[in-house]
Amino acid sequence: MKHSIIAISLLGAVAAPAAAFYSSPVADDLWFPSIELRPGVTADVHVHLFQNRGRCVGTVFAVHGVAHTAATWEPFAQALFAGDVLPIKPCRVAAIDLPGHGLSGLPSGMLFGELSLYDYSSAIIGVLQELRERGVRVGIIVGHSMGGLLVQTVQERLLAQGSSLRAAFGIGGALLLASALPSAVQVGQPSDIDLTPFIVEQPALGVFLAVPDAIWPQAYFINTVGALADGAPSPAEVAARGYNSFEPIAALFEVVDRTAYVRARAFCDKGTHLTLVFNESDPHQDPVSQEALFEHLTCRPSLARMVTMTGPNAVHDAHVAVPKDLLRALTRWQRRFARALSANVRATGH
């Protein structure tokens, strides 16, 4: 079904060729009404469009993690657009607010607390289809934490349909940052964070996770020795920037319990080059499980595309706190990044 698109900026600017973009990064808001999540359930989905008006090419699509919003991608977008990190810069970072997060609407046809990873992946597929129909071609997809798992589940759903991220949308590169794990990866130590005090039930929303702004930085920016990373936002900044969000209990349990199915070799010779980033100071991760994830998804057990970010600032939300440091750690990835962005633009002209 076709959906109208509502934007603060002119729609023509979204699909303009790279040469039309000049000046400093700005953010626009796109809304996609009535995206189907499952039969009988829809949601109005918001995308935060960070635009680079300098010399640039292509589009990056970004998917946030648990209790996050699209707004958390702004520091990463600014780092991608900066002149001192990447040789080729994207024209846009299109960051989705998953249903019920940020500026996206609550689901119609079910309670917020019942939203699952399947519903989230439906929203991602629906928005990617809408963007493609309007001439916005995504070359790279980036997922953080739960968002990394969602990139995997989107690929799984497309493969089950005889397609793929590359075949359906022309996406040539996938970057997983501190990714959550599918059911096939049961090695490693699970996070010992206790979420019980933050579980809330309301009749209108169902059961969900509600992390207070005062706690949010400690949940995502503390390193393995208990120190906050450089660049971590204060609770007041978390609130002012709109970083925090409720998380439905159904989706949360799928992440925590590792129940999402993703087939082996889902990114093996499927046209989308996978790069996985492990942050060594992230208390929610361990190298054993991340290496197992990479080997499960690819056919390259040499870990040729797994990157370890080192140092005390390599925390769970390093892409928010120290995005330039993260990009500098991805020196091998930068060439693949440029190729993936350019290839989809050459193929489509946008």
Is 155 part of a structural domain of the chain?
yes
Question: What single DSSP character describes residue 109?
Answer: S
E strands present in the chain:
6-7, 26-38, 41-51, 59-63, 92-97, 138-144, 173-177, 199-202, 206-209, 247-248, 273-279, 306-309
The whole-number pLDDT of residue 132 equals 93
The whole-number pLDDT of residue 306 equals 83
Question: Which segments of the chain have a pLDDT < 70?
Answer: 1-27, 83-84, 190-192, 301-305, 332-333, 335-336, 343-350
The whole-number pLDDT of residue 26 equals 53
Is 101 part of a structural domain of the chain?
yes
The string of DSSP letters for 134-189 reads TT--EEEEEEETHHHHHHHHHHHHHHHTT--HHHHH---EEEEES----TT---SP
> Residue 324 is inside which H or E element, if any?
helix 323-329
CATH number at residue 73: 3.40.50.1820
Question: What single DSSP character describes residue 313?
Answer: T
Is 283 part of a structural domain of the chain?
yes
Q: How far is CA 167 from CA 51, 148, 314, in A?
A: 26, 20, 34
Tokens of 316: 């769970």
The whole-number pLDDT of residue 3 equals 39
Is 85 part of a structural domain of the chain?
yes
The whole-number pLDDT of residue 19 equals 29
Integer Cα distance of 139 and 54 in angstroms: 18
Report whether 91 contacts 58 (CB < 8 A): yes
**Residue position matching structure tokens 């590792």:** 258
Is 319 part of a structural domain of the chain?
yes
Strands 92-97 and 41-51 turn out to be: antiparallel
Is 175 part of a structural domain of the chain?
yes
pTM of the model: 0.90
- Domain, as residue range, for 279: 6-348
Report whether 60 contacts 140 (CB < 8 A): yes
The whole-number pLDDT of residue 31 equals 94
Total domains, the chain? 1
Integer Cα distance of 32 and 128 in angstroms: 11
Is 104 part of a structural domain of the chain?
yes
Strands 206-209 and 247-248 turn out to be: antiparallel
Is 1 part of a structural domain of the chain?
no
